[in-house]
Structure 1
Amino acid sequence: MVTVTALARTAALVGDPARAGMLAVLMDGRALTASELARAAGVTPQTASGHLAQLTEAGLLAVARQGRHRYHRLASPAVARMLEGVMAVAAGPGPVPAAPRRGPRDAALREARTCYDHLAGRLAVAMADALVARGAVELEADGGAVTPAGEDFLRGLGVDLAAAARTGPARRRVFCRPCLDWSERRPHIAGTLGAALLATCLDHGWLRRIEGSRAVAVTPGGRLALVRAFGDGLGGPCGDA
């Protein structure tokens, strides 16, 4: 059982602007060095070192050593879900404005981005809507499932459902669940199925990562493939690679 003290301690760790900046830049699933995280947060390496120690001790970050370098990453998908939830609350109540005053980079993040190991943004929500509409996936408030017809459809796209379904005790991952999208305020698909969908899109070259950003871009061939697979709802203002 989580105590009020533990809840307050975690909230305080995330609430610091420098630590929040470090956590946010790791939301794309990468592992970064202390120097890279210091630059992202706009603090000195010495200050960053103290913040990283606190986040690691609290179980929010995990550290891996490779050669002389130490790489920091989010400790688990649960941490990413927590951060995405905070972002949804921080974005404020009510519908997303039709024409928000945002910069180009922010527009790209709203369109399509990585949420730890799965896809988020308008594109991801449109994919979830299409899967539900065709009866391939059933989503409820606390979970989701792939139908037999959905299994055939997803395998046809090249999604490795067998690997995604291996969610045993060691992995402690949910296979399919809705994840509230902070920019669209509607659910996209998370869990190991969401991760498998993102991996398939990247492996096929339908999407490509944008260096230094959580945003991903739709390639010209990917736009055609996604529209053929999921319908016209995916033919929106996705940035071509």
Structure 2
Amino acid sequence: MKLAIIGYGKMGKTIEKIALDRGHEIVNIVEERGANVLKQLSQNGAEVAIEFSQPEAAAENIKACIDQKVKVVSGTTGWLDKMDEIKKYAKQKEGTFFYASNYSVGVNLFFHLNEWMANLMSRYSDYNVKMEEIHHTEKKDAPSGTAITLAEGIVKNHPDIQNWKLFEGDNVPENSPENIVPILSKRIDPTPGTHEIIYKSDIDEISIKHTAHSRTGFALGAVLVAEWIKDKQGILTMKDFLPL
């Protein structure tokens, strides 16, 4: 398969290595942003673009791929305020767009476990929930896209939880509202990504945790999705790729 890589940081380089190891051809590596740069995608025959760029560039990059009739797999976080706009654009242009906040198979299993646990814990009002997430210092957005997906999963499955709130520093205040998920974000090198959901009462504490040991799981998942999406159409997510 002919692939384009948009965004050539640490994740882009890991994706390149995995894609080449799996026998794919990299026909474009795009480090800049904008439609003029991305016009070359269709000229070089790219079938799928894997987009891990920057929050301020993601929407423009995705639109350019759709304009060039190149299917796009995006993992950039921190730009979700434009998600509805991008979905509408992809639908109007009959493009193929796949987004996930995290492409790791293990993390997506963790998403499912988190939702199940939120539903279970909603029956026990003595427990308050909070989340802690740790990433490397180069990660620009906080909380992480994975943390937001986890928080949204809790809100959807726990009737007493209405929203989430970001806290930065060492501690979540003890007097934080009970109807939110407090998210404590830390940036510590060289952590690829750790997420922990904690339910605490006066009596005890229950937690579930996912720890990434490297970027490989994220990058491999993105390449697997690119392979899968080649023959698909429309707006798709990990729930389509990995039904649970």
**TM, length-normalised to structure 1:** 0.27
Question: Which structure carries more strand by proportion?
Answer: 2
Bigger relative CO (Cα 8 Å, ≥ 6 apart)? 2
**TM, length-normalised to structure 2:** 0.27
Question: Which structure carries more helix by proportion?
Answer: 1
